[in-house]
Amino acid sequence: MKIDKVTDLYNKCIANTYSRYPVVLVKGRGIKVWDSEGKEYYDFVSGIAANNLGHCHPQITNALKKQAGELIHVSNLYYTLPQMEMAKLLTKKSFADKVFFCNSGAEANEAAIKLARKYSKDNYGNDRYEIITMHQSFHGRTIATISATAQEKFHKGFEPLLAGFRYVPYNDLSAVEKAINGRTCAIMVEPIQGEGGVNIPHRDYLKGLREICFSKRLLLIFDEVQTGMGRTGKFFAYEHFGISPDIMTLAKSLGGGVAIGSMLARAEVAKSFIPGSHASTFGGNPLSCAAGVAAIKAVDKGVLSHCKRMGNYFMRRLKKLKDKYSFIKDVRGMGLMIGMELSFPARGITEECLKRGFLINYTADKILRFIPPLTVATKDIDRLVNVLDEVFKETVNKGTVPVK
């Protein structure tokens, strides 16, 4: 189908909530996708960190095919085996004792917010309900999760926001301590901020938050929707920092590209959820859990070590570009979650890369974000870096930015 016809149908039938690029993707394998006219692209967006094993990974597609022929959905009023197996795997791999399943990262964070409030009311009375979150955070687009998101651009038009959130600068422990009062029940933070610009914490920041929560009897919530499932080179990002939270949220790559989310918690905290406290009709359905089980099993030590190696290689290649072009302000990241900060808006760079057959992403206006499959190869990285070099040269030749 021609792009113009697809665009017309989209404009007619679909809510205008995305600024889409002019390409219709119809097929994917590994790091590659193809459009409706047969053009090939290298995908360094991975469904915004959802396809962590690439497109149509055989273990995931086979699990889906098998489960689709047996049982797709039943109510959570009954037990199912795929949900049981997935919960067992997640608790075995993490600090957590209990899992709640839902369908997305926003839903997982919604569940975390509700559980934090419920736990605090159960244990400390009705006056403790506030949650401290960080500037440039992103926790989702429901009313509760945009209220938790400390970025004003996501708030506009949806006021009044949900009460009970206090915002402080990321990486600033003293600001957190000053914000705590008698109403505070939890601190909620992304170990690495994704949508906010791939912001990396100071070495002792997360450890400091853990110590504050212990001393003040607060819950520590880690939003690992984007960082979980091996993205940073460990299965969960918190493992890099020698501490663990009380509640953690996952989604995106949890199902290897299939929609599923989860909230994990320590048993003492999770017991505040009882029948009727929270629910999700499709949460943990057999089909998505079958995909999730396959995805978890596929992210083995070999994939994690490969992710670290490729992340280090990618960073080295990008830092060489930084040495070459003065408009590149910073290159930062962990594993295969990497940001390149420019001195000008980045959308034009993504559009030029698209023309050359590379899907890349930008966030926070000026930051190119690279989140390829964890299985990316050096040759794929080299291809992209060479294209970026070409695009940057053209940008310089247009006279819009200086070169070193």
State the angle between helix axes of 301-324 and 378-397 in degrees (0 to 180), rounded to the nearest 10. 20
- Scan for tokens 């390149």, then name that residue: 340
Give the DSSP H or E segment for 264.
strand 261-265
327 is catalytic: no
- Scan for tokens 């075995």, then name that residue: 92
Which of 138, 358, 370, 392 does the annotation list as catalytic? 138
Q: For residue 402, give Cα distances in angstroms to 364, 388, 390, 399.
A: 22, 16, 15, 7
Q: Are 200 and 136 in contact (CB under 8 A)?
A: no
Main-chain dihedrals φ then ψ at residue 336, nearest 5 degrees: -105, 45
Of 348, 358, 257, residue with least CA distance to 53: 257
Distance CA 135, CA 151 (A): 6
Distance CA 76, CA 275 (A): 11
Distance CA 331, CA 341 (A): 6
Give the DSSP H or E segment for 296.
helix 286-298
Q: What is the largest CA-CA distance in the chain?
A: 65
222 is catalytic: no
Q: Residue 166 half-sphere exposure, CB side, CA atoms within 13 Å? A: 18
252 is catalytic: yes
Take residue 5 and report the two structure tokens written for it.
Answer: 């016809």
Cβ atoms within 10 Å of 212's Cβ, excluding its own? 17
Of 151, 261, 248, 131, residue with least CA distance to 195: 151
Q: Are 147 and 82 in contact (CB under 8 A)?
A: no
Which of 118, 234, 252, 366 does the annotation list as catalytic? 252
Distance CA 351, CA 343 (A): 17
Which of 95, 165, 223, 327 does the annotation list as catalytic? 223
Contacts of 35 (CB under 8 A, 6+ apart): 23, 24, 25, 26, 41
Q: Which residues participate in catalysis according to the annotation? A: 138, 223, 252
